[in-house]
Structure 1
Amino acid sequence: MSTVFIALQTNEETRPIVEAIIQDNPDCTVNEQPAMVKIDAQGKLVVRRETIEELIGRSYDLQELQVNLITISGNLDQTDDEMILYWNA
């Protein structure tokens, strides 16, 4: 199974987003750098709007993620409620 990942800038805005991604993907691997955090997962990684909203205490549009997004690896499926990175088998 191939690894997918998302890399985000490290700042106050992304800290709860990273926490939400880790919460929704308990088997992921987190690599924190001074200016970015990279989250790797085997096969699939899910980013859920609802989990982010619970942690930040307000409505959140997944499009806001693009402001702090550095790069992703994998195929991307996105709805208003979640973003899924995956590789086809």
Structure 2
Amino acid sequence: MTTTPPGHIASAHLNNRVGPVLRQGELAKAVAEAAEIDNPGKVITLDDKVAYLRVSTEGEMILRRETIEEMLGKPFRMSELEVELSSFSGRIENNAEQVRFYFEKKL
């Protein structure tokens, strides 16, 4: 059983982390690498939970189809991301070329 540190819940509203939670596998690794490339200057955090991988950063994360394709070494459609996306934090905006995870305003 995991316990929550004192004050953790009280400060939860200060969390502005955004990003995908993906089932482990080839695509999760490619997305983690793409997150580093597509978000220069940002600290990307990987939380490996064995069955899934949480990729996150503060405020906004962009993932481009072209970068994911490069990391996979094969063609990729952004709609394929939805199949492996277990969850995400923040809001999401997507099209055929990229997906954006974001918060509209910081708390």
TM-score by length of 1: 0.86
Partner residue of 1:79 out of 72, 95, 103 = 95
Q: Which runs of 5+ in 1 are unaligned?
A: none
**How far is the alpha carbon of 1:14 from its aligned partner?**
2.6
The counterpart of 2:57, out of the listed 35, 41, 46, is 41
User: Given the superposition, is the C-alpha separation of residues 13 and 40 from structure 1 closer, same or farther in structure 2, using an over 3 Å criterion?
Assistant: closer
* Residue deviations 1:34-81 (CA, integer Å, cap 9, x gap): 111101111001111010111222221011011211101111111111
> Which protein has the larger Cα radius of gyration, Structure 1 or Structure 2?
2
Q: State the 1:23 CA deviation.
A: 2.5
TM-score (norm 2): 0.74
Alignment of 1:58-69 (within 5 A): 58-69=74-85
Aligned to 1:53: 69
Correspondence for 1:17 among 28, 31, 34:
31
User: Moved runs in structure 1, 4+ residues, more than 4 A?
Assistant: none
Bigger proportion of residues as strand:
1
Equivalent residue number for residue 4 of structure 2: none
Q: CA deviation at 1:12?
A: 2.8
Are 2:28 and 2:53, in contact at CA under 8 Å, matched by a contact in 1?
no
Identity of aligned residues (%): 28
Match of 1:6 in 2: 20
Aligned length: 89
Aligned alpha-carbon RMSD (Å): 1.6
Whether the 8 Å contact between 2:26 and 2:72 is mirrored in structure 1 is no
